[in-house]
Chain A
Amino acid sequence: MGDFPIADASEGHEDRYINKDWVNPECMVLWGCEPLASNADGYLGHWLAVCHQMGSKIISIDPRLTWWGARAEYWLQIRPGTDAALACSWLNLIINEKLYDEDFVDKWCAYFDELAEAVKDMTPAWAAEITGVPEEDIIAAGRFFAASKPATIQWGLAFDQQMSAMSLNLAAVDLMALTANIDQPGGWLLVHNAFECNGGYASGDENIPEEWMARKLTNSYALGMEGADFISHASSDAVLKAIETGDPYPIKMWWCQSSNEIACAAMDAPRLYEALNSIPFIVNADPYLTPTSVALADIILPVAMSAERDSARSWWTPIRTMKKVTDYYEAKTDEEITIELGKRLNPENYRWSSVDEMLNWFLTPKPTGGWATASGALEAKGQTIDFNMTKDEIDQIGGYVYDDFNGTYQKYEKGLLRPDGNPGFATPSGRIELASRVYEVWGLSPTPFHTEPLQSPISTPEAFKEYPLILTCGGRSYEFFHSENRQLQTSREFHPLPLLTIHPETAKKYGIIHGEWVWVENERGRFRQVANVRPTVNEVTVHAEHAWWFPEEEPAAPVFFGTFDSNVNNLTRAFETGEAGVGSSIKSMICKIYPYKDGDEMPHEVIVNKGGWNKIIPGKAN
């Protein structure tokens, strides 16, 4: 399309809410998202709270009642993992009732008929069956969204954590395109990394020799899956497969920096723990000693904290720098560690002699072609991106600079999005492709569709008899960021223990008392959290927190700060993913719950001392 779409809460303008070009969204769809606590990619959810204060109306699409849902015109309490069905039915509604912006679709979109054909049977009635949201609510909210000018969608991680992840993302783009809300004030802002200092994600693919690229651990290797590997990093399933099977080559070393994977990111944490244990040499770089450090590391590198660090960030706008004010002991910053290691591994690609030099290089506009298009568009007009400041200069003026590009609307009319400098969007056709040709190149369906979660009342009705609750997880809280901040006294004062949210009727049914420990179990294993009995989830759904560990508990084996005892990833699976290796079922599992009793065997005993609950078939789903 051109660049990255984010909900426009005026963040592209230095003067923010008083900017004369900006319009407050009439309607904000908070979709699979609680942005107050989650702050995705530097996006502060309180910006949207200010929009609401200025009059924006809310649609909340969420299995949980959140601050937004309680203030919404419409709260659609959706069954976890079925958002694509709802999105497709809104497309169906908007097309059938001709609620789309005919002029915008005519001038700036392509393949309308193909989209209309693809969603023609996906009616609100059909979606009501799947999502559990009443048909009349789907219709009323869909009409309200379509009639609001401008309207925006703030999408959350739930978009990526369902089986039809890529499809759902496409559906949301189609909804915003049909209603002419893309690249409009108060709709979706199309942004790039400020000044294209970090065009696209600048992952450096172009520096990797072809023969190394050929040995990349890909999804097609791990999962036998069709679809181009369009993501720069290796597939995590493929890495696991290589560790477990030694094929196509054994993994002999593991470098883990600012990641606490057995507490947080690992799908099937017990399995990853066992796999990583077989790697001969593991380095862990982190500001704190974590469960991952204790359980796995041969060498621990202490990483400097933010006050000890010179750094810069461009995601998305303004470009920001931070200045070191102190340092302690031998800790080094991520930047220092990266340069020192890079110089030893590949001096040609790490030519900077100091962090300053690297940051000044980082702060230089670097058109990379392909993804980054603003520079291309300017080049076509004989211009370049006008930004030339050093880290020091930016520090001096307060540490940030706004990029006008990110505060400019209707860039598609101004010829700012395409490398050829012509009006239009950066797609092959120059229009927003409602049926995406790029998706086809990646081996994906060009139109949106719904896929059931792998385990659900619909896909596995027999298993649902034994595990009669839907388990969703990963909702954030103010106190923590993923596995971070568990050692901060004030964070723990406000949020001492992991909470499992249970509806009062469900708690009564299973003999569970608010504030007491409860087990959550599926056929893979179990974990315990503290019952938080409140009607913010429905009677068939429970919500678990993720990434817990307890710095106050025993660090040594087998306890590892208690991280396995409350870990929802005792229940998740590796080698399970949606189209093209994107998406998963982890926010839509099934489970049973029952009270914890003193003396119950703790998960760390089973995982660390007894080899876990599950027999592993190396390199395969189990």
Chain B
Amino acid sequence: MKGILVNYDYCTNCHSCEVACKKYLDLPVGEFGIKVSEVGPFQYTTGDLKGKYEWSFVPSLTKACNMCADRTEKGKMPMCVQHCQSWCMAYGEIEDLLKKIDGETRYTLLTTKA
């Protein structure tokens, strides 16, 4: 099964994936195929992280996502992955993608209904 792996420590909330997908799926205002959520900003007040900031951005796929089937069958990247400004997204077989998760940074694996 295919999926998109996001190294979301480096997602900048640049919206490029969201816009690229909207144009590709021709979605009207307010609708998305991929949407980035914001966590924070807040500052930790206790423990080892005391004083550090959390301000993270995490993309999710919506029901409208078709994994860019017509592109990927031609060997192209999905539109969102192609346009990621931070190079923090990768498309592929989920078993291969899982191997990239190294515990050094935070990842999330995105999949859709088959």
Question: Which residues A454-478 have CB closer than 8 A to chain B?
Answer: 478
Q: Do residues B85 and A49 form an inter-chain contact, with CB atoms below 8 A?
A: yes
* Complex interface bits, A40-55 against B, C-beta within 8 A gives 1, otherwise 0: 0000101001101100
Q: Do residues B88 and A53 form an inter-chain contact, with CB atoms below 8 A?
A: yes
In the complex with contacts A490-B22, A535-B41, A535-B42, A67-B29 CB distance below 8 A: no
Q: Do residues A67 and B22 form an inter-chain contact, with CB atoms below 8 A?
A: no
Q: Do residues A534 and B41 form an inter-chain contact, with CB atoms below 8 A?
A: yes
Q: Do residues A49 and B19 form an inter-chain contact, with CB atoms below 8 A?
A: no
In the complex with contacts A70-B55, A493-B30, A535-B42, A50-B86 CB distance below 8 A: yes
Question: Which residues A21-55 have CB closer than 8 A to chain B?
Answer: 36, 44, 46, 49-50, 52-53
Q: Do residues A53 and B87 form an inter-chain contact, with CB atoms below 8 A?
A: yes
| A contact residues around B87 at 8 Å (CB) | 46, 50, 53
Q: Number of contact residues on B: which range applies?
A: 20 to 34
Q: Do residues A65 and B29 form an inter-chain contact, with CB atoms below 8 A?
A: no
Q: Does A489 contact B (CB under 8 A)?
A: yes
Q: Does A536 contact B (CB under 8 A)?
A: yes
| B contact residues around A65 at 8 Å (CB) | 41, 53, 55
Q: Do residues A493 and B86 form an inter-chain contact, with CB atoms below 8 A?
A: no
Q: Do residues A46 and B29 form an inter-chain contact, with CB atoms below 8 A?
A: no
State A36–B40 Cα separation when bound (angstroms): 18
Q: Do residues A49 and B40 form an inter-chain contact, with CB atoms below 8 A?
A: no
State A70–B43 Cα separation when bound (angstroms): 9
State A535–B18 Cα separation when bound (angstroms): 26
* Complex interface bits, B11-44 against A, C-beta within 8 A gives 1, otherwise 0: 0111100110011000001100000000011110
| B contact residues around A50 at 8 Å (CB) | 86-87
Q: Does B54 contact A (CB under 8 A)?
A: yes
State A106–B23 Cα separation when bound (angstroms): 57
Q: Which of B22, B29, B40 contacts A70 (CB 8 A)?
A: B40
State A49–B13 Cα separation when bound (angstroms): 12
| A contact residues around B40 at 8 Å (CB) | 70
| B contact residues around A536 at 8 Å (CB) | 41
Q: Do residues A49 and B86 form an inter-chain contact, with CB atoms below 8 A?
A: yes
Q: Do residues A36 and B14 form an inter-chain contact, with CB atoms below 8 A?
A: yes
State A69–B43 Cα separation when bound (angstroms): 12
Q: Do residues A46 and B30 form an inter-chain contact, with CB atoms below 8 A?
A: no
Q: Do residues A53 and B41 form an inter-chain contact, with CB atoms below 8 A?
A: no
Shortest CB distance B27–A (Å): 10
* Complex interface bits, B79-105 against A, C-beta within 8 A gives 1, otherwise 0: 000000111100000000000000000
State A369–B89 Cα separation when bound (angstroms): 47
Q: Which residue of A is nearest B52, CB measured?
A: A70
In the complex with contacts A46-B86, A536-B41, A70-B19 CB distance below 8 A: no
State A479–B85 Cα separation when bound (angstroms): 14
Q: Does A328 contact B (CB under 8 A)?
A: no
| B contact residues around A493 at 8 Å (CB) | 29-30
| A contact residues around B53 at 8 Å (CB) | 65, 69-71, 75
State A6–B38 Cα separation when bound (angstroms): 31
Q: Does A329 contact B (CB under 8 A)?
A: no
Shortest CB distance A386–B (Å): 33
Q: Do residues B55 and A49 form an inter-chain contact, with CB atoms below 8 A?
A: no
| A contact residues around B15 at 8 Å (CB) | 478-479, 494
Shortest CB distance B59–A (Å): 14
State A494–B85 Cα separation when bound (angstroms): 17
In the complex with contacts A49-B12, A53-B86, A490-B19 CB distance below 8 A: yes
| A contact residues around B88 at 8 Å (CB) | 53
Question: Which residues A467-515 have CB closer than 8 A to chain B?
Answer: 478-479, 489-490, 493-494
Shortest CB distance B69–A (Å): 24
A-B residue pairs in contact (CB < 8 Å), sample of 12: A46-B85, A50-B86, A53-B7, A53-B86, A65-B53, A65-B55, A67-B12, A69-B53, A478-B13, A489-B29, A490-B23, A494-B15
Which A positions have Cβ atoms within 8 angstroms of B? Answer: 36, 44, 46, 49-50, 52-53, 65, 67, 69-71, 75, 478-479, 489-490, 493-494, 534-536
Closest A-B pairs by Cβ, 7 of them = A70-B55, A70-B53, A46-B85, A49-B86, A53-B10, A493-B29, A36-B12
- Besides A65-B41, A493-B29, A534-B41, 16 other CB < 8 A contacts? A36-B85, A46-B12, A49-B10, A49-B85, A50-B86, A53-B86, A53-B88, A67-B55, A71-B9, A479-B15, A490-B19, A490-B22, A490-B29, A494-B15, A535-B42, A536-B41
